[in-house]
Structure 1
Amino acid sequence: MNDNDKQSGNGDGGGNPGGPNPWMKSLLIWVGILLALAVVVTMFDGRTSGAQGNTVAYSTFLDKVDEGTVKTVNVSRDMITGTFSSGDKFRTYPVQDSGLIERLRKAGVEVAGKPEEGPSIWMVLLYQSLPFLLFLGIAFFVVRQMQKGGGAGGAMGFGKSRAKMLTEKHGKVTFDDVAGIDEARAELTEIVEFLKDPTKFARLGGKIPKGALLVGSPGTGKTLLARAIAGEAGVPFFTISGSDFVEMFVGVGASRVRDMFEQAKKSAPCIVFIDEIDAVGRHRGAGLGNGNDEREQTLNQLLVEMDGFEANEGIIIVAATNRPDVLDPALLRPGRFDRQVVVPRPDIDGRVKILEVHMKKVPLAPDVDARVIARGTPGFSGADLANLVNEAALMAARKGKRLVASAEFEEAKDKVMMGAERRSMVMTDDEKRMTAYHEAGHAVVAMHEPASDPIHKATIIPRGRALGMVMRLPERDSYSYHRDKMYANLAVAMGGRVAEEIIFGYDKVSSGASGDIQYATGLARDMVTKWGMSDKVGPVEYAQPEGESFLGYSSSQPVRMSNSTAQLIDDEIKGIVEGGLSRAKQVLSDHIDQLHSLAGALLEYETLNGEEIKRLIAGEDIGRSEPGAKTVVVPSAGTSIPKTKRPSGPFGSPSPAGA
């Protein structure tokens, strides 16, 4: 289920992206006309010039006169033209010669005068009419565009709706393609049934809902659900993004909203899907001044169209957002968005169904079990699972395999959760040893904290921004934290830094624990300011509100506290983090031999899975036949990772650049 899996079909106002631009087409027509006119005038003027004969020098002309080969001459101030006895025409340009006429008469040449000639009449007409023709062409072009109106490609069509009608003849999506979110699908199935048979509900006085708001994290399948509605309902389905309404010109968005509903009324009953509605539906009055801007006018028009004086019967608005907290309350009231459909991250059964949908397109090996993969991927959205299957298929293709096996799915899961391996990164022996003890410190503390999640894998191979990492997987999907688990996570987070200090000394502690410290500080702050887990501060919320902020101004009131309270909170946060540090020191001091053993194994094998770490801690042989041998361990029943797709805390060694 991919929230980014979107298609737009051909529809009204969509235009033809591959066709020529109408503006450019009209301009080219007029340019062609003017060029053709200029060519005609030039040709005509050239023919006129050619008719006057060849140009000869004045001295040559006088020689011809003396020879008696000049028959006729036409004399003007700027040019002398005439014909030879052979019939050829000529022309020449005179000089100051007062005896020319007498010389011509003695030679028996027929002499005639010629009036002065100005520019060609065609050139004069062209020069005088060119500005008028340009003005006429521009006026005709503008009028034509205004008459076209309509589409977004027209010059005057920026106020028209950009909603496109979805017509999927190939790749049609139905509710059979939507898995893992049964409750949300059931809510929308009822809307489809209402469109197909409204009398079934109207008999008891029920009215068709005017709007449904799909709320969920990115990638959970909101857009896919909307496409499934279009595939199931069999009615016109218009799709548009919230950002398509807002332009720099005030009033354009409101005009597009009006035009969109006009289109929808012509096709009623129909469905209009607005993706990312938070782009236009945010709280009014959140900005500076009176807030009378383009976005708020657009929202006002949308509110009126959805539930105003005019009835829009048969038009259902389906919108999607992952920020419901910033939407205007008027948009969420009954009569506008009557239903808020939560599209959550899927549970284990949902993940199995989603994986099965995506695995239909991939040739699988017999050892692939969708439920085993689903157990190790809690918190994954539909888009994440689709990406996981795709990564596994790509890995198998790179290896030249014909089937995708569980080994590829395991590698793909590691890549998605921890990042790609950076084996090309050259580390010195000291850096490898430091990283091995750092990750071993995390792992040993995690093994001796009862409330900690089980370890899935530990590695000193650089992945992403980390030089090494310990991945822990919860035994089941978790929806809340408990105090003992929080204290365990704090101790595990501090385990890497404590191991460095114990083994290498106080002065050799590296910056590799920066991510661990950040995680521990954030967790401790939430424990004190949000969850009331400090006896001294008490069950009072002091966390800053997470309301909408515009130009630095928050729509929510900031938390007010005295200086003494702020100091108390800081002291409690520091005390909780240092308590985790003390617990990690105690565990590693008591089990220093396990720390050495695990660090040595990491240096030898680079990657260890959870079962191998358990055997090492118990003093048993891990069972590898040779150093560096690759082993792929299928997660045992109940293994999983947190909903954030990462271990319980960033228990890795960041690279120096990211420290």
Structure 2
Amino acid sequence: MAENNKKPPNPLIKNLGLWFVILLGLVVVVNVMQGPSRSGADANTLAYSDFLTKVEEGGIRSAEIRGEEIIGKTTADEEFRTFNPGDSELVNRLRAKNVRFDARPEESRGLLAQLFFNMLPFVIMIGIWIFVMRQMQNGAGRGAMGFGKSRAKLLVAKEGRVTFDDVAGIDEAREELQEIVDFLKDPARFHRLGGKIPKGALLVGPPGTGKTLLARAIAGEANVPFFNISGSDFVEMFVGVGASRVRDMFEQGKKAAPCIIFIDEIDAVGRSRGAGVGGGNDEREQTLNQLLVEMDGFDANEGIIIVAATNRPDVLDPALLRPGRFDRQVVVGRPDIEGREKILGVHMKKVPLAPDVNARTIARGTPGFSGADLANLVNEAALLAARRAKRLVSMRDFEDAKDKVLMGVERKSMVMTEDEKKMTAYHEAGHAVVSMHEAASDPIHKATIIPRGRALGMVMRLPERDQYSYHRDKMYANLSVSMGGRVAEELIFGYDKVSSGASSDISYATDLARSMVTQWGMSDKLGPLKYADNQEEVFLGHSVTRTQNVSEQTAQLIDGEVREIVTSGYNRAKQVLSDNIDQLHNLAAALLELETLSGDEIKKVLAGEPIERGSVTGTPASRPSTGVSAIPKTGRRGGFGEPAPQA
């Protein structure tokens, strides 16, 4: 435990120390190569002939003889330096001119010392090279000689420790993985009954559902080492590097066992062998083969649990999914309304909330949101509140943040004529009135005619709970509501003034009716048969819909049934709006005045009751806008916030 408390070395200090050692080594090499310093090195060097001439002329005051080197001063008190070429008469000449001189033996080095100083520069250079290479290979093995080192990062227990308390909305996945945690905490309890530690767990789910967070929570609950690596870290341009990294990763895991190795986006290295355009990649397949051997090969890796995550389980190699490799396949799906409420509660703990914030209402209005989407929603609400100089985040901030995430930023600068605003108001009012008179329709949450993104207006309906299947009566109700906007335009403005704003409504109604006929067996003429397979496949980066071939006669029957179902919804909407034309006028007028109405306010308008607000004056664009819609492919008049049913 004491070792875990040590702080890692500062990279800046480490780099400065490295360069200091290199610089010091270079200085030593230069000094050694230049030889030992000599006294009088700064003095004037005389040619030996000039030195003899000065001696004969009496210009030398003193001299010191050190072997072949002569150092002294002239009568002008100038230092000099020269070398004796072997003149045996030098002493006699100095005596004849009364030059004061002295003699000292030449400094000599022993054989070992001389050999040491001669070899020292080479030893220092080799030492610096070894030191630099070791530094380059340390850490994650990203150096020039560290291609085969694993890039797995060890998560320190005190840094970002996550437990199951931090994971919400995926209770089934937590329960499935709780057994792994219990095994890591007390493996002997399972060994007594002959149980073996699971080799691996594969987390499967859409992006943003919390797969990585769940893996970290397993390590946090079990309090064991956690190695994190991405599937792309195994793939390199050099053949054999990925397999070497897999071996090195398991070697690290053995030293820290029991431990968890988490491989994110395992489909980057675990795709089916031999698949794909142009054949498989040899390097990737070698890496996958090594991973398969390490997980369940001849040598058992006890105490190592592999947790992997992917959102593409359909492309993984079958050998990777068999028992003995990834024994557990845990589906981490998008949360339901209960899960969304819990996830919002986790993220809202970090935000100061106003008393009017209702997490349940926000959860109802965010069907299909993942955990990451909900975290982003809370963050956007906090940013909006800060931009408005608030101290607390209110429900209005959450509603505006939801509109921004789903529809885009409010288009305040968009200029609409009065006729365009009036047509948009009647279009959205048509959706709302038909929805209020359809018993099977979901309750209306709000309606708005403020442009956002590519939509000019929106009517949003919120289901009371998450719906996993759709009944026939609800489908027909949705068809009527989708046609309400088009019918309202015809009734109010006439046949010739109908706009293209209902394009998305018509597209939704057509797709719904075709699914009812070809997939769900809701056509009396065609019977309970399936005539189409709408599973999408990805080929060369494009989504391709594979449809079952049918005869020409059957195709005509299908088109006739689709037309009849959509037309029935159109007729139903026309009947409702014709019988309640006053409600259509009143609701459109309220939308033109207030621009945004809640579900309760819409009920009051249809009942003829007044709407009480603090203030309804001022610039319309400055008032809060609410309304949710998926961003359409093209510009449109409006929509009614209903997701397409899933088979």
Range into which the TM-score falls when normalised by the shorter chain? 0.7 to 0.9
* CA shift digits 1:25-48 (9 cap, x unpaired): 79x989x99xx99xx9xxxxxxxx
Q: Paired residue for 2:314? A: 325
Q: Paired residue for 2:209? A: 220
Q: Paired residue for 2:396? A: 407
**Does structure 1 conserve the Cα–Cα contact (< 8 Å) formed by 2:423 and 2:489?**
yes
Q: Distance in 2 between matches of 1:19 and 1:293?
A: 42
Residue type of the alignment partner of 1:545: Q
| Alignment of 1:582 onto 2:564 | no
Residue type of the alignment partner of 2:524: D
Instruction: Quote how far apart the aligned CAs of 1:617 are.
Output: 1.9
* CA shift digits 1:607-630 (9 cap, x unpaired): 011111122222332334653589
| Alignment of 1:270 onto 2:252 | no
| Alignment of 1:620 onto 2:609 | yes
Instruction: Quote how far apart the aligned CAs of 1:285 are.
Output: 3.2
Q: Paired residue for 1:543? A: 533
Instruction: Quote how far apart the aligned CAs of 1:419 are.
Output: 3.5
Stretch moving more, 250-259 or 219-228: 250-259
**Does structure 2 conserve the Cα–Cα contact (< 8 Å) formed by 1:220 and 1:382?**
yes
Q: Paired residue for 1:344? A: 333
Q: Paired residue for 2:172? A: 183
**Does structure 1 conserve the Cα–Cα contact (< 8 Å) formed by 2:157 and 2:225?**
no
Stretch moving more, 148-157 or 193-202: 148-157
- Which residue of the other structure, out of 636, 643, 647, is the alignment partner of 1:654? 636
**Does structure 2 conserve the Cα–Cα contact (< 8 Å) formed by 1:472 and 1:647?**
no
Q: Secondary structure at the match of 2:456?
A: strand
Instruction: Quote how far apart the aligned CAs of 1:222 are.
Output: 1.3
Q: Paired residue for 2:296? A: 307
**Does structure 1 conserve the Cα–Cα contact (< 8 Å) formed by 2:205 and 2:311?**
yes
* Equivalent runs, 1:167-206 vs 2, <5 Å: 167-206=156-195
Stretch moving more, 596-605 or 517-526: 517-526
Q: Paired residue for 1:252? A: 241
| Alignment of 1:428 onto 2:410 | no
| Alignment of 1:442 onto 2:424 | no
Stretch moving more, 415-424 or 205-214: 415-424
**Does structure 2 conserve the Cα–Cα contact (< 8 Å) formed by 1:174 and 1:232?**
yes
Q: Paired residue for 2:250? A: 261
Q: Secondary structure at the match of 1:470?
A: strand
**Does structure 2 conserve the Cα–Cα contact (< 8 Å) formed by 1:163 and 1:240?**
yes
Q: Paired residue for 1:210? A: 199
Q: Distance in 1 between matches of 2:276 and 2:250?
A: 28
Instruction: Quote how far apart the aligned CAs of 1:323 are.
Output: 2.4
* CA shift digits 1:151-175 (9 cap, x unpaired): 4321132332211111142442112
**Does structure 2 conserve the Cα–Cα contact (< 8 Å) formed by 1:442 and 1:651?**
no
| Alignment of 1:291 onto 2:277 | no
| Alignment of 1:502 onto 2:491 | yes
| Alignment of 1:526 onto 2:515 | yes
Q: Paired residue for 1:3? A: none
Residue type of the alignment partner of 1:179: A
- Count the aligned residue pairs: 554
* Equivalent runs, 1:460-539 vs 2, <5 Å: 460-538=449-527, 539=529
Q: Distance in 2 between matches of 1:580 and 1:18?
A: 70
Residue type of the alignment partner of 1:654: R
**Does structure 1 conserve the Cα–Cα contact (< 8 Å) formed by 2:406 and 2:631?**
no
Q: Paired residue for 1:84? A: none
Stretch moving more, 184-193 or 244-253: 244-253
**Does structure 2 conserve the Cα–Cα contact (< 8 Å) formed by 1:439 and 1:653?**
no
Stretch moving more, 165-174 or 304-313: 165-174
Q: Distance in 2 between matches of 1:241 and 1:397?
A: 36
User: Highest relative contact order (Cα 8 Å, sep 6+), 1 or 2?
Assistant: 1
Q: Secondary structure at the match of 2:345?
A: helix
Residues 511 and 145 of structure 1, relative CA distance in 2, 3 Å threshold? farther
Q: Distance in 2 between matches of 1:354 and 1:228?
A: 15
Q: Distance in 2 between matches of 1:503 and 1:25?
A: 82
**Does structure 2 conserve the Cα–Cα contact (< 8 Å) formed by 1:516 and 1:649?**
no
Instruction: Quote how far apart the aligned CAs of 1:541 are.
Output: 4.5
Residue type of the alignment partner of 1:185: R
**Does structure 2 conserve the Cα–Cα contact (< 8 Å) formed by 1:347 and 1:378?**
yes
Instruction: Quote how far apart the aligned CAs of 1:361 are.
Output: 1.6
| Alignment of 1:155 onto 2:153 | no
* CA shift digits 1:458-484 (9 cap, x unpaired): 001112221111111112121111222
Instruction: Quote how far apart the aligned CAs of 1:653 are.
Output: 6.6
Q: Paired residue for 1:124? A: none
Q: Distance in 1 between matches of 2:305 and 2:495?
A: 66
Q: Distance in 2 between matches of 1:184 and 1:248?
A: 37
Residue type of the alignment partner of 1:461: I
- Which residue of the other structure, out of 224, 243, 257, is the alignment partner of 1:235? 224
* Equivalent runs, 1:358-373 vs 2, <5 Å: 358-373=347-362
Residues 25 and 191 of structure 1, relative CA distance in 2, 3 Å threshold? same
Q: Distance in 2 between matches of 1:564 and 1:490?
A: 26
Residues 458 and 471 of structure 1, relative CA distance in 2, 3 Å threshold? same
**Does structure 2 conserve the Cα–Cα contact (< 8 Å) formed by 1:498 and 1:584?**
yes
| Alignment of 1:389 onto 2:378 | yes
Q: Secondary structure at the match of 1:654?
A: coil
Stretch moving more, 143-152 or 321-330: 143-152
Q: Paired residue for 1:76? A: none
Residues 250 and 386 of structure 1, relative CA distance in 2, 3 Å threshold? same
* Equivalent runs, 1:593-604 vs 2, <5 Å: 593-604=582-593
Instruction: Quote how far apart the aligned CAs of 1:580 are.
Output: 2.7
Q: Paired residue for 2:597? A: 608
Instruction: Quote how far apart the aligned CAs of 1:546 are.
Output: 2.9
Q: Distance in 1 between matches of 2:387 and 2:278?
A: 58
Q: Distance in 2 between matches of 1:494 and 1:579?
A: 10
* CA shift digits 1:172-229 (9 cap, x unpaired): 2112212222222122222112111100111111111111111222222211111112
Residue type of the alignment partner of 1:542: A
What is the aligned-residue RMSD (CA, Å)?
4.5
Stretch moving more, 519-528 or 487-496: 519-528
Residues 352 and 517 of structure 1, relative CA distance in 2, 3 Å threshold? same
Q: Secondary structure at the match of 2:468?
A: coil
Instruction: Quote how far apart the aligned CAs of 1:238 are.
Output: 0.4
Instruction: Quote how far apart the aligned CAs of 1:286 are.
Output: 2.7
Residues 550 and 398 of structure 1, relative CA distance in 2, 3 Å threshold? closer
**Does structure 2 conserve the Cα–Cα contact (< 8 Å) formed by 1:470 and 1:651?**
no
Q: Secondary structure at the match of 1:512?
A: coil
* CA shift digits 1:470-506 (9 cap, x unpaired): 1111121211112221222222222222322332333
Q: Distance in 1 between matches of 2:141 and 2:390?
A: 48
**Does structure 1 conserve the Cα–Cα contact (< 8 Å) formed by 2:446 and 2:461?**
yes
Instruction: Quote how far apart the aligned CAs of 1:567 are.
Output: 4.3
Instruction: Quote how far apart the aligned CAs of 1:456 are.
Output: 0.5
Q: Distance in 2 between matches of 1:495 and 1:507?
A: 17
* CA shift digits 1:440-466 (9 cap, x unpaired): 121122122221111110001112221
**Does structure 2 conserve the Cα–Cα contact (< 8 Å) formed by 1:472 and 1:648?**
no
Q: Distance in 2 between matches of 1:293 and 1:568?
A: 51
Q: Distance in 2 between matches of 1:523 and 1:51?
A: 104
Q: Paired residue for 1:107? A: none
Residue type of the alignment partner of 1:346: P
